Structure 1
C-alpha cells in the first residue's frame, strides 16, 4: 500500500508498505482523507521537538471500515464511515487516574511519537473509532482538529457572560471560535490574515482584528470598554502571542494555551499575581469534545467549502508542504486524498 513518509526535515517520500493485518480487537480501515495540520508542518520544517524521524504523519482521519478482527462489537460493520481518536493513554499516570486521558503522561499521538495515518490502510483498536453516518467524508477529517479548539474552551470554563479572545484563526482557533460562540460568549478573533478573519466571522466571531494592520491593544480596549477579555485562548504558539495573552486578559481572567513555542518565553510575572490569573494548558481533546464537534456538524452550519484549501494526491504532498512552509497564511486546511487509490 502507498504511504507518505517524512524521512527527515524538509523531505517527503512515497513508500510502499504492507497492508496491516488486523489482530483481536482491531479494525482495518481504508483511508479516504487525511488532514494536514500545523503539527505536520512543524515536523516538515524540523521544528517539532516531539517527533522522531522517519515518520508517517497524519492524525486527522476520514476512513471506511473494510475488515475487523474478533472481539470487535457487532455494531461496527464493513462500509461504515469513521474518524478516530489518534491519542493513546496508559491508564496509570496522574492524568489518566483523573480521567483526563487527553493529557496522558505517556501519550503517543499518531504522526508524532508514532507513525500516523497518511497511508492507504490503517489498523486501529475498535475503541478508538468514532462514527456518525450523517457526516460526509470531508467532515469526518475535520472532527479531530476542531475538537482541540472545543477542548480549549472547556478548559477556559467559557460561559455566556464571557468575552473570549481567540488568537490565531487556523483550524484549532476555528474550533475555539465555534465552541465559545455556541456557549453564548462574545468572541473576538485575531489573526494576521484577512481571509481567515472572514471565515472567523462565519464561524461565530462578533469582532475581528488584524493584528498586522491594527493596534491590538487599542482595539481590545474599545471592544471591551477598557476591561479586557475575560478569557484568552492562544492558538498560535509564538513567544509574542504568549506574552500578548497575559498582557491583554482582564484582571482575574483566564488564559488558555493550546500552541507551544519551541523557544523560551519571557514574561513579566507580576501580571500573574497582580491580575490573579488562571493560566491553563490545553492538550488534545477528550471523547466528549469529539462528540460535541460531530453534534455541531450535524446542524449543517459548518462552512465546509471555506475550510478546505486544497485536496492533494499523495505525490503532491512534498510541493504543497514547501509552499505552505513558504507562505503559511495562504493555507487553511489541506487534505491528502486516498479515496481513489
Structure 2
C-alpha cells in the first residue's frame, strides 16, 4: 500500500509499504482522514529534532476498524468509527508513575518518534482505540489537536466565570478557547491573522484582538477589569508571547505554556514573585481530554466547518504540505482525505 513519506527537509514522496495485519491485542484501522500537525510541518522543514528520516507523518486520525487481532476487548467491533490516542508511554518514568502518561519522559508519538498513519491502514494496540458513534469521520480527526488545547485549560484550572486570555488562534489555541468556554469562562483571544480571529469569534470568543494593529495590553486591561485575567494560555511559541503572558496575567493568576519558544527566553523574574503567579507547562493530552472534546464536537457539529481550512485528497497530500509551508498563516487546519468515501 502507498504511504506518504517525509524523506528529509523539503522532500516528500509516496512509498510502498507492506499492508499490516493485526497481531494479538491490536486493531487494524482503515484511515479516513489525517490532519496535518505543526510537528509534521516542522519535520518537513527539517526543524523537528525528534524526527529521523524517512518518516510517515500523521497522528490526528479518524477511521474505521477493519479487523481485530486475537484477544481484542468486547467493546470493539469491525466497522466502528474510531479515533486513536497516538502517544506511546514507557510506564516506568516519574510522569507515568504519577498517572500522567502524556508527560512521559520516553514518549513516542505516531508520526514523530515512530511511524504515523498517512496510509490506507494502520495497526495499533486496542487500548489506543477510542470508538465514537454519531460523528463525522472528518471531525474525528480534529479530536487530537483540540484535546491538546483542552489539556492546557485543565492545566490552568480554569473555573466558571473566570477571565481567560488565549495567545494564538491556531488549532491548539482554538482548542484552548473551546475548552475555556466549555468551563464557563469569559475569553479574549489574540492573533495577528484577521481570518483566524474571525474563526475564534465564530467559535464563541468574547473578545478578539489583532496584535498587528491593536494595543494588546490595553485590550486585556479593559477585558480583565480591576482584577485582570485569572489565566493566560500561550499557544504561539514565540519569545514575545512567552514574556507577554507574564505581563498580562493577574496577580496570583496562572500562566500555561502549550507552545514552546524555539530560542531562549529572558524574563523579568521579579514579576514571578511580586505577582506570585503559577507558571505551568502543558504537554499533549490524555484520554480524558479526548472524551471532553468528543462531547463538545457532538453538541457543536458545525465547529469543524469553522476550524478546517482545506481538505485535500491523498494524491494532493504532498502539495498541501508545500502550500502550508509557503503560507502558514493562510491555514488553520489542513485535512487529508484518504479515499473520498467518508463524510
- TM-score interval (norm. to shorter): over 0.9
Once the two structures are superposed, residues 199-224 of structure 1 have per-residue CA deviations (whole angstroms, 9 ceiling, x without a partner) of 11122210110101111111111222
2:297 match: 297
- Please state whether the residue corresponding to 1:255 is helix, strand or coil: strand
Deviation for aligned residue 1:262 = 2.0
| Structure 1 outlier segments of 4+, above 6 Å | none
1:5 match: 5
**1:52-131 matched pairs, under 5 angstroms:** 52-131=52-131
Change (3 A) 1:137 1:301: closer
1:249 match: 249
Deviation for aligned residue 1:302 = 4.1
Quick check: 1:313–1:336 contact (8 Å CA) kept in 2?
yes
Deviation for aligned residue 1:139 = 1.1
Q: Which moved more, 1:121-130 or 1:220-229?
A: 220-229
2:265 match: 265
Provide the C-alpha distance between the structure 1 equivalents of 2:173 and 2:51, rounded to a whole number of angstroms.
23
Provide the C-alpha distance between the structure 2 equivalents of 1:266 and 1:14, rounded to a whole number of angstroms.
43
Q: Which moved more, 1:27-36 or 1:304-313?
A: 304-313
Q: Which moved more, 1:40-49 or 1:94-103?
A: 40-49
2:152 match: 152
- Please state whether the residue corresponding to 2:280 is helix, strand or coil: strand
Provide the C-alpha distance between the structure 2 equivalents of 1:265 and 1:289, rounded to a whole number of angstroms.
29
**1:1-341 matched pairs, under 5 angstroms:** 1-225=1-225, 227-340=227-340
Deviation for aligned residue 1:195 = 1.4
Quick check: 1:166–1:233 contact (8 Å CA) kept in 2?
yes
- Please state whether the residue corresponding to 1:335 is helix, strand or coil: strand
- Please state whether the residue corresponding to 2:251 is helix, strand or coil: coil
Provide the C-alpha distance between the structure 1 equivalents of 2:62 and 2:306, rounded to a whole number of angstroms.
18
Provide the C-alpha distance between the structure 2 equivalents of 1:63 and 1:232, rounded to a whole number of angstroms.
35
Deviation for aligned residue 1:319 = 2.2
Once the two structures are superposed, residues 208-263 of structure 1 have per-residue CA deviations (whole angstroms, 9 ceiling, x without a partner) of 10101111111111222254321000111111111111111111110000111221
Give the TM-score taking structure 1 as reference length: 0.97
Provide the C-alpha distance between the structure 1 equivalents of 2:147 and 2:302, rounded to a whole number of angstroms.
14
Q: Which moved more, 1:275-284 or 1:305-314?
A: 305-314
Once the two structures are superposed, residues 263-285 of structure 1 have per-residue CA deviations (whole angstroms, 9 ceiling, x without a partner) of 11111111111211100000011
Deviation for aligned residue 1:86 = 0.3
- Please state whether the residue corresponding to 1:76 is helix, strand or coil: coil
Q: Which moved more, 1:103-112 or 1:70-79?
A: 70-79
Q: Which moved more, 1:218-227 or 1:22-31?
A: 218-227
Quick check: 2:64–2:81 contact (8 Å CA) kept in 1?
yes
* Structure 1 unaligned regions, length at least 5: none
Quick check: 2:33–2:138 contact (8 Å CA) kept in 1?
yes
- Please state whether the residue corresponding to 2:195 is helix, strand or coil: helix
- Please state whether the residue corresponding to 1:264 is helix, strand or coil: coil
Quick check: 1:169–1:189 contact (8 Å CA) kept in 2?
yes
* Structure 2 unaligned regions, length at least 5: none
Provide the C-alpha distance between the structure 2 equivalents of 1:311 and 1:267, rounded to a whole number of angstroms.
41
Give the TM-score taking structure 2 as reference length: 0.96
Quick check: 2:5–2:13 contact (8 Å CA) kept in 1?
yes
Q: Over aligned residue pairs, what C-alpha RMSD do you find?
A: 1.3
Provide the C-alpha distance between the structure 2 equivalents of 1:164 and 1:284, rounded to a whole number of angstroms.
20
